[in-house]
Structure 1
Amino acid sequence: MRFPFYSLRTGIVACLTFLILSAMLLINVVMVKFAERDLIDAKVEMGRLLIHTVGQTVVYEIITGYKVLNGPGSVSRTGKEIAKLLRMGGYSNALVVSSTGSRLFSVGSWEKLEEDALVRSREALTRQKSSLEFSGEVWGVIWLAPEMIRMSAPFFYDGRLMGAVAICADLGPLYQGLRKSERFILIYICLNAIILVLFRIYLLSRTVVKPVRRLLTITDKFEEWPTLFDQEESSRNEIGQLSRSLKMMLKRLETNKRELKANIFSLEEANLEIKKAQDEIIKSEKMASAGRLATGVAHEIGNPLSIILGYLELLKRGDLTHEENRDFVERIESEVTRINQIIRELLDFSRPASAEHEEIEIHQLIMETVNLLKLQPMMDQVEIRQELNAIKDVVWAGKAQLKQVFLNIILNAADAMIDTESSDGLSPKVLRIDTENEDDFIMISFTDTGIGISPEELGRIFDPFFTTKEPGKGTGLGLSVCYTIIEGLGGRIRAESVLGKGTEVIVAIPLTANSGIAN
């Protein structure tokens, strides 16, 4: 049978052992004190009896022959008889004085106590009353106790005072006898405690430990709870009640577990639907932006196509020299290359975004986005100033999604500045793009000189389907998509605006751990 140090059984056994031993020892202390008191009381009674006997013996000696008492050998004979009586009663010394207070004789070795005994005897004569006193201190059985017992009393004959007797006894032998008996009592207490503790361990194992271990087994193997509860709990005590309550609780937990799994499955499906909807919104906004870009691209492609058609008409004439034919072909090739680059940039932007992230250089991506937008006719009226001062610019993100964020912000800024009207028509249309590092982020700010946004509308610009543009000119999803993408990267996006002076959109994106010096 194992007893783990921190087990329930060990704790209960330790407490029971302590309580049983404490109770027995306290009872023993009380019994010892009572026994000590009773023995001292018996000693006092014995002293009173001895005083009476000694007094009567002395009276008999005085009456039968006072001269004999003082004769040769009389004191010795009386002293021996009194000494024998004292030894039988457990006393060691006795002193007898006459009615006049003169010392008749003494028994035992009084040493320095004889004068005190003489004084006590004479006080007994004067008061004609007995006296009892305990003196000194010595270690008893449990604690300090009186060392000596001293008694004195007068004795009479036919109502006439004849003298007084003083006796004393050392209580040390009494305590020593009690201490010897105490050793056997302590051994008996230990044996009793061992028997009681072992018996209690057996009872605890049956009534407490085994049921508790069964409950622990049930909780440890919760997955198998139907088989663990095949046996009904028949006990009607607290352990049985606890077992039944645990059974009901585990049943409720199993029910809640099934419901939780169902809820988690529903949430996962809902999250997938939300993610799918977000992807569709981002894709729709991207297609809307691509549509706007396509308008500018069509205009940009028209010029090189016209040039190519003109060169082809010249080549059809057939009267050109070899050098002229070669020059026209090279010019046609240059314009076709230009058209190919414009279409490729638009296709790259419109291509479905990859879900995988990679290390992106923010400065390079900003410049690519600006170059893509330069083809738009609306951008001919906007001056873009780039102050790319961030020392570190490498982030972990999806390239297409970040390009979409920058494209939406720049297009919104251009729309806001084109809508600006002034009396002279010469209002500057400048978009400033700045970057700087702040802690572990790169801060990208887009500041325009547009019409600005009112404080009431500023707090809603990132809400889906909210737009300040005229109907048909915006979906209201551009900045909402930007917010979703930047938040997904662990970044932040916010806007500050002064009505009539312009708007600043600030994007914060966390840098990668190994972000190097920006180019």
Structure 2
Amino acid sequence: MKKASWLFKRLDLSLRTEVIINISLLMLAAILLIGFTTTKTNEKNILQEKTKNAEAIVQDIQTFFEFVFRDRKGLTLNHPIIKEEIQDFINIYNKERNFYNLIITDSDGKVIASNKQQWVDRNFKPLLLERSMKSNTREIELEKGNGLWIPEYRKLTISSPLWIQKKMVGGVLIELPLSDMMRRLIEYQRMFLTLIILDSIVLIVFGSFLLSRVLVKPVKELVSLTKKISEGNLNQTIEVHSNNEIGQLISSFNRMIEQLREKQEKIEKHLESLELANKKLKETQEELIRSEKLASIGRFAAGVAHEVGNPLGSILGYTSLLASEGVDKETGKDYLKRIEKEIERINRIVRELLNYARPTKFEIKEVEVNQIIENTLSLLSYQKSFKNIETRLEFQPHLPPIQGDESQLSQVFMNIILNAVDAMPQGGTLRIKTEECIVGNGFSTKFSEGDRLVRIKFSDTGIGIKQEDLKKIFDPFFTTKDPDKGTGLGLSVSLRIVESLGGEIKVESEPGKGSTFEVYFPVSQ
């Protein structure tokens, strides 16, 4: 059926033609099966009839033998009188039956009588007759050739031993023509082929008309309507003309259109509300990120002020010296160069702070993780609490880029670094390591095996996190710090940013020994 369907698709046939062809093929297969079975049954019956006739002929010859030797107990098959009577019987029998060969031999294989005189008194013992006389049973053999529909039967050979007073004295071999059987089978074939042709014509003519009225026309209407529905037109239906399966299908289709129309209206209204809610949610999330960013700025603003205050003090001192009398020209130039150097230092600090704090439009592009971490550390280096921290950087050279927004990634790294600094109030070591890794067996992440990732590992030697708090550190507003040191939103916002970029954060911590944050991002393709 798969091949047939492929053929119909290639021929681009109509539904009516395809149904008629399929039904015709099924009917043809059924008729051929019935015809083949009937032919074989007919063939078997004719063969059985022919076999029974051959056995009846053998029985007639055996009866004749018993009659001939009834009062002649001292005579044998080779006695002239016996041979003459047997030959006369065969001549008469052959005229009625028209055998190919009818041969009677004695037990030694000498021909006693035959329908062909040239065989008489000759030694002739074919294999079938010899096998029959040895086994003391009748043997039957069919000679046939290959035919297109039925075998080409040529002749039927039967052999049997002959007895006189329960003693085997010879044998008989009979070859019967099967031409009349072949004629009967061929006539049946012709009749069967005629029946197939007539049935096919009736089926095509009347089947085409009935299928077109009952099935094809309603299906075409359904197809036309489905095309309109695919184009978005849900305002049309089909008129129902009957209560059969096709009518029920059309009714169901009409109900489906009505339900689709109602659901489409509901979906459109729901989409409008979702778009509005999504817009508000996005605005709220962006505002939350900005708020946390401003909170981060406030946390290290004092450190920045201290860093700006030192060069300002130097500038004030140099300007006082310049204003005093007695400063020669060369010394004045030296003071001015020092003032310029301190101003450049202040300008660099303020510019870095403004670059971080300035509202930016988020832009997803290929970014270098190592460079973003260096820029973030440069900005944090002005923090007073950062002075007692030893920073160890282990950056993989030529680290593959990732897809992300520089401002958002800087905010994530700053939140994690500031938390690490707060966890080491008496000073300590902050180790930052970047490397490329490939997801393998036992790699507990949301990524698939074989994925290429960039891993950023932040390790500190701080006070650590309690086990009961580990599950809550990413919850909004959860914090263990004093109110003036944190809002509890830093890690929550960081997690949202990382997950929005397709990444993942993992945390390990042991109280008294420190914490390790691992951030994973897929490599940019």
TM-score scaled by structure 1? 0.71
Q: Equivalent residue for 1:196?
A: 199
Correspondence for 2:30 = 19
Letter in 1 for 2:26: C
Q: Does 1:136 align with 2:140?
A: yes
**Is residue 293–residue 346 contact of structure 1 (8 Å, CA) maintained in 2?**
no
* 1:416–1:451 Cα contact (<8 Å) kept: yes
Q: Is the Cα contact below 8 Å between 2:238 and 2:250 reproduced in 1?
A: no
Superposed, 1:64-213 pairs within 5 Å as: 83-84=91-92, 86-88=94-96, 108-109=115-116, 135-139=139-143, 147-148=157-158, 170=174, 172-173=176-177, 175-205=178-208, 206-207=210-211, 210=216
Deviation of the 1:271 alpha carbon: 4.0
Give a deviation string over 1:278-302, Cα, whole Å, max 9, x none: 2222111111111223232223323
If you compute each CA radius of gyration, which structure gives the higher value, 1 or 2?
1
C-alpha contact (below 8 Å) 2:237/2:257 kept by paired residues: no
How has the CA–CA distance of structure 1 residues 39 and 283 changed in structure 2, closer, same or farther, with 3 Å as cutoff?
same
Distance in 2 (alpha carbons) for counterparts of 1:475 and 1:260: 39
Write out aligned runs for 1:44-443 (5 A): 83-84=91-92, 86-88=94-96, 108-109=115-116, 135-139=139-143, 147-148=157-158, 170=174, 172-173=176-177, 175-205=178-208, 206-207=210-211, 210=216, 214=220, 219=226, 222-223=229-230, 229-234=237-242, 236=244, 238-249=245-256, 251-252=258-259, 255-256=262-263, 259=266, 263=270, 266-317=273-324, 320-380=327-387, 382-393=388-399, 394-418=401-425, 428-439=427-438, 440-443=452-455
Per the TM alignment, residue 255 of structure 1 is displaced from its structure 2 partner at its CA by 4.8
Aligned-partner residue type, residue 30 of structure 1: T
Moved more, 139-148 or 480-489: 139-148
The answer to whether the 8 Å contact 2:114/2:120 transfers is no
Q: Does the alignment pair 1:32 with 2:32? A: no
The answer on whether the counterparts of 1:391 and 1:437 sit within 8 Å (CA) in structure 2 is: no
**Compared CA separation, residues 188 and 227, structure 1 to 2 (3 A):** farther
Deviation at 1:190, TM superposition (A): 2.0
Q: Secondary structure at the match of 1:417?
A: coil
- Give the whole-Å Cα distance in 2 for the aligned partners of 1:320 and 1:82: 165
Count residues in correspondence.
459
2:470 is aligned with what amino acid? L
Partner of 1:163: none
The 3 A distance-change label for structure 1 pair 234 and 314 is same
* Distance verdict in 2 for CA 1:435–1:169, change over 3 Å: closer
Q: Is the 8 A contact 2:458 2:516 kept in 1?
A: yes
- Supply the distance in 1 between the matched residues of 2:253 and 2:45 (Cα, whole angstroms): 52
Counterpart contact for 1:47–1:151, Cα < 8 Å: no
Identity score, percent? 32
Letter of the aligned partner of 1:148 in structure 2? I
Give ranges in structure 1 of 5+ residues lacking alignment. 59-71, 96-104, 117-132, 155-165, 419-426, 514-519
Q: Give me the CA root mean square deviation.
A: 4.8
Q: Which amino acid in the other structure matches residue 147 of structure 1?
A: T
Deviation at 1:31, TM superposition (A): 2.9
Question: Counterpart in 1 of 2:512?
Answer: 500
- Whole-Å separation in 2 of the counterparts to 1:81 and 1:449: 128
Aligned partners of 1:399, 1:392: CA distance in 2, in Å? Answer: 18
Q: Which segments of 5 or more consecutive residues in structure 2 lack a partner in the other structure?
A: 10-17, 69-80, 105-111, 126-136, 145-149, 165-169, 439-451
1:4 Cα deviation from its structure 2 partner: 6.9
Residue identity in the other structure for 1:463: D
- One-letter code aligned to 2:7: F
- Conserved? CA contact 2:86–2:113, under 8 Å: no
Report if aligned partners of 1:134, 1:146 keep a CA contact under 8 Å in 2: no
Residue 209 of structure 1 and its aligned partner are, at CA, apart by 6.9
Which moves more between the two structures, 440-449 or 219-228? 219-228
Give the C-alpha shift of residue 193 in structure 1: 1.3
Q: Deviations over 1:307-359 (max 9, x none)?
A: 33344444455664444444443333333322222211111000123322344
Indicate if the aligned counterparts of 1:138 and 1:146 stay in contact, CA closer than 8 A.
yes
Cα distance in 2, alignment partners of residues 169 and 220 from structure 1: 79
How far apart, CA to CA, are the structure 2 residues paired with 1:400 and 1:267? 28
316-325 or 436-445, which deviates more: 316-325
Aligned partners of 2:215 and 2:246 also within 8 Å: no
Match of 1:137, SS state, is strand
- Equivalent residues of 1:148, 1:170 under 8 A apart: yes
Which range moved further: 186-195 or 302-311?
302-311
Find the residue that maps to 1:14 and give its secondary structure.
helix
Shift of 1:176: 1.4
For 1:327 and 1:48, the matched residues in 2 are separated by 150
